[in-house]
């Protein structure tokens, strides 16, 4: 059985080989590679994350498929909010900001419109799922 790290590695390789396009569960969906600095280790981490555009900003959801805890990358970006983003064939620095209400709900609903599975994650989770806005550095 493969580990989540093996799965992520394959998605990352496919993303980079195809200018941000991947197949499988993400086929036809927007995906980015989120580079964070480990909150405890200080080491760079790269995670493929579903996203939606909101104007010039990109939005990601710390759903962890509705698990009871936030994903590790969420804690990393809270501790170190300057991140690197790979989106399509572009790579840029961004500031990660956790959205507050009512924007959080508006942005979450926007993600549900393009990826309905996020509605299931919201229903399953016994926590408020954070929504993170990635604001490109100027």
Q: What is the pLDDT along the chain (138 residues), one digit of tens a residue?
A: 355 677 788 889 998 899 888 888 777 889 999 999 999 999 999 999 999 999 999 999 999 999 999 999 999 999 999 999 999 999 999 999 999 999 999 999 999 999 999 999 999 999 999 999 999 997
Residue 77's domain comprises 4-136
**Three-class SS of 4-50:** HHHHHHHHHHHHHHCCCCCCHHHCCCCEEEEEEECCCCCCEEEEEEE
CATH of the domain at 123: 2.30.110.10
Can you give the pTM of this predicted structure? Answer: 0.91
Distance CA 48, CA 34 (A): 6
What's the burial of 6, exposed, middle or buried (CB within 10 Å: 0-12/13-18/19+)? exposed
Domain count, the chain: 1
């Amino acid at each position: 059985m493969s580990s989540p790290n093996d799965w992520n590695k394959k998605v990352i390789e496919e993303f980079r080989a195809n200018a941000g396009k991947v197949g499988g569960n993400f086929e036809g969906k927007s995906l980015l590679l989120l580079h964070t600095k480990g909150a405890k280790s200080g080491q760079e981490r790269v995670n493929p994350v579903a996203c939606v555009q909101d104007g010039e900003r990109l939005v990601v959801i710390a759903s962890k498929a509705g698990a009871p805890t936030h994903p590790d990358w969420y804690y990393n970006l809270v501790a170190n909010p300057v991140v690197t983003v790979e989106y399509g064939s572009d790579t840029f620095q961004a500031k990660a900001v956790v959205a507050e209400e009512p924007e959080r709900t508006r942005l979450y609903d926007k993600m549900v419109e393009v990826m309905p599975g996020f509605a299931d994650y919201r229903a399953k989770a016994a926590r408020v799922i954070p929504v993170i806005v990635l604001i490109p550095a100027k």
